[in-house]
Structure 1
Amino acid sequence: MSIQQADWGSHPLLAARRVDFLDCPMHGLTMAETLGLAEEAMREKRPLHHVVVNVAKLVTMRRDGELRDDVTGADVINVDGVGVLWGAKLCGVPLPERVAGVDIMLELFALCARGGYRPYLLGAEQSVLEAVAARLQKEHPGLVIAGMRNGYFKPEEEEAIVADINRSGSDCLFVAMPTPRKERFLKKYRAILQPSFVMGVGGSFDVYAGKVARAPRLVQALGMEWLFRLLQEPKRLWRRYYQTNTAYALLLGQELRKRHFGR
């Protein structure tokens, strides 16, 4: 266990809110508590590695040991998917609310603008990255972006990119790459990355830039955001959602039997 992990692991809030569900540790935090930890990390210059878990990631972690290590090695693990939230509650695991990665990112943009913190944006296509920067300038004119780099680079370029991030003087790092690439990148370089708060945000840059539409709030609240995405790209996503949702239903059934009947 790294010094950073041991340090945050003993944080009173994280220690009190740590739970386990489907063999994965996670933290039962609200959005406000999560943002408070992020600001504490940036204010005090204490490295904090944040990840989120959803149904697809929990299922994939069962067969991908490296991804499991990447996720469980983080300091803060929030629940992103409503399916995880509902499943955990069925099993009697106390989780207060969904804390979606894209919402954390949006709240942190505003927090950075208010507090003078500087984000570094890594990932997505160059055109998406530029659209994100333009929208940030419009919505948060006082925000200073420490640096940007699109997500199309080779493994041999990673060290130079990490060096650029560290030279930028950024306080937080958002990595907009798919799973497991973003988790692998952050786990690999977390010991030398200088930004205090680091997190993977997946396709959140695409959403913020307007390339991908996000489900309406009612659809999100009903836990049907995955269906909204499926209807947008049925040919590409139907098999993935069918497999992960089916696997999750089976895992949840097994967990319920184990917790309620001891087998």
Structure 2
Amino acid sequence: MTSPPLRQCNWSDAQLVNAVRSSTNWRGVMRELGLNATSAGAIRIVRRHVARLGLDTSHFRGKRKWSDVQLKRAVSESQSWDEVLDALGLAVNGGGMRTHVKSHAIRLGLGFDHLEADAAVVDVPCPGKPDLKHLREAGASIAAAWFTLCGNSVLFPIEPAIYDLVVSIQDRLCRVQVKTTTHYSKNGWMITVGRRPYSIRKDAPLIPYDPDLIDCFFMVDGDLNMYLIPSRVIAGRVSILLRTYARYVVGNASGLLGADGAKGCSG
């Protein structure tokens, strides 16, 4: 498809060359040529003539205080983004200015791998190492991750409820109570599946969960074996030996504790 013919202009190519050379934006060019600087149509015509002549506009900076030429020089001569900002006369801690300058460098296709080298030596806060002492707090998250990986939607109740999760399974909403244990007896992992009513003191005897209020239990033992047990299977119990429910094991999350030989962070 051919471009439409250029209109007859009231300026010469030489005038346009001088206007582009002495201006820092397109409106400046328009003013140099005695044209309406707010006319989008007129600016498009001038742009087409500039393209026809192959004129360099890399020094244009719009509302910026620096041009593309200055940015190219700053990037090539600096060793960090702070130095780039300083070379452009910008505040190093100037909010989103670093992102703005970096984005512009990307649009210009500038290489700046040498500016990223300083980021590699920045210390990252160490989160510590996985420990079974945190299993109780992690239980609901482990359960939610497993259900999600199975393709189910997981909801957390926003107010205290008798269940920990609500999971959408085959168009049915299932109420899930999460239990964990690090108590290993001579017979294997023991886990508490009873509860204490909220209105009773903490040392009160445990009572079973009502199977009409809980659909299933998701359990994690100290070996990070994961169990999914229907509530009616353990109805009436407040404590169980998990090895007798091996048929309900659905997986193992021991990889969360870290692979053998993996390097931990220091700090």
Structure 1 length-normalised TM: 0.20
Structure 2 length-normalised TM: 0.20
Q: More strand by proportion, 1 or 2?
A: 2
Q: Highest CA radius of gyration, 1 or 2?
A: 2
